[in-house]
Amino acid sequence: MEQTELNAIFKKVFNESDYRTFFAPGRINLIGEHTDYNGGHVFPCAITFGTYALARKRDDQKIRLYSVNFENLGVIEFDLNHLDYEKSHDWANYPKGMIRYFIEAGYEIDSGVDVLFFGNIPNGAGLSSSASIELATGVMLEGLFHLAIDRIDMVKIGQKVENQFIGVNSGIMDQFAVGMGKKDNGILLDCETLKFEYAPIEMDNYRIVIMNTNKRRELADSKYNERRSECEKALHVLQKHISIDRLGNLTPEQFDQYQDEITDPMIRKRAKHAVYENNRTVEALKALKENNLNKFGELVNQSHISLRDDYEVTGKELDTIVEAAWKQEGVLGARMTGAGFGGCAIAIVEKDRVDSFIDQVGKTYQEKIGYPAAFYIVTVGDGAKEITTGNMHH
């Protein structure tokens, strides 16, 4: 959608044409899956798909929100003094939760706002459209109300909205990637300490291709919580034998030494994934720094195998698309990305072979699954920020 179109919609919906524009990206995770809530490492990056928020302050206490993506729901309106979760407010609960927790954290929001949202992250694809709308709201509030808020605090408020306002028990990765992303860089984040490091993703001859299975992540939330509690069970057993706070504290060697204490083989596999995946993530950064892209790709492949066999969060669609990707020439590595159970996978593909890669993988997927996949080439972009043209120095 063009700026001029959004302009016209803003005018039509709010009868005003003076606004500022904010943007928050979506994310992919290169490696380090289901490690964040285990106190391990993740390695995500922000992408250039995301959520735009066009916003202006009002003279009263009304919050009026409109999404181009949910036109049928019209303007959702509530009062600055009534910020409870409401099912009928649907998508607008994300910005509502942000406003509420900003106020609760002591940030002064002294008037209502009109906001138009527009997102171009493919729907339900697991590219963090919810973290994107949360952080778009965060930078919008920061900008309009001149708030001095630390970016990591904003990220934490986003996670709090997800956990406590919406009720999804997710880790910190998505909000962190969306809030802290940097153009052309991945972020290696230690989810225990929140220490992080940017790492340039310089893959001159390669492109990262997102492969969207178009399979809705139906069981995602319940299975997600199930995996979390399986990891907690493993942790409790291991804590009787070794002093650790999180599975992410264990090295693979330590895990191997104590793994037999976990008598349930299913729980043991879950823990094994968490520990080994954490290690692979740290190794992946090293490989990237040494410009050892083959090693990086190998770790990416191992990550998928572990998510498939030990953590069991892939499913037929993700396995079909990733296994088809592995068979193509010029592919360094491929794996699912995000929570799993559908959604997207990524592949690192030689630049000149991207077209034939998409052709071939698309064909195989359609044949085996019965409906088409979608493909997008990744551009690694910045984290959430104001993008109002000619008005960047508010």
**Pick 171 or 381: Cβ nearer ligand GLA:** 171
DSSP states along 47-73 = EEEEEEEEEEE-SSSEEEEEEGGGGGG
The residues of the shown chain that bind ligand GLA, judged by CB under 6 A, are 33-34, 36-37, 170-171, 173-174, 338-339
d(CA 134, CA 127): 13
> Using CA of residue 94, residue 213, residue 344, residue 312, what is the dihedral sign?
positive
d(CA 201, CA 186): 6
Name the minimum Å distance from CB 313 to ligand GLA. Answer: 8
Name the minimum Å distance from CB 362 to ligand GLA. Answer: 25
Name the minimum Å distance from CB 174 to ligand GLA. Answer: 5
Name the minimum Å distance from CB 204 to ligand GLA. Answer: 28
DSSP states along 352-394 = GGHHHHHHHHHHHHHHHHSS--EEEE--B---SEE--TT-TT-
- Which residue out of 174, 190, 310, 319 is catalytically annotated? 174
**Pick 174 or 310: Cβ nearer ligand GLA:** 174
d(CA 296, CA 76): 46
For 234, residues 6+ apart whose C-beta sits below 8 A from its C-beta are 247, 262, 267, 268, 270, 271, 274
CA atoms within 13 A on the CB side of 101: 25
**Pick 35 or 364: Cβ nearer ligand GLA:** 35
**Pick 39 or 112: Cβ nearer ligand GLA:** 39
Per the annotation, the verdict on 174 as an active-site residue is yes
**Pick 228 or 295: Cβ nearer ligand GLA:** 228
Residue with tokens 């009062």: 79
For 224, residues 6+ apart whose C-beta sits below 8 A from its C-beta are 168, 169, 170, 339
Name the minimum Å distance from CB 393 to ligand GLA. Answer: 34
Residues marked as catalytic: 174
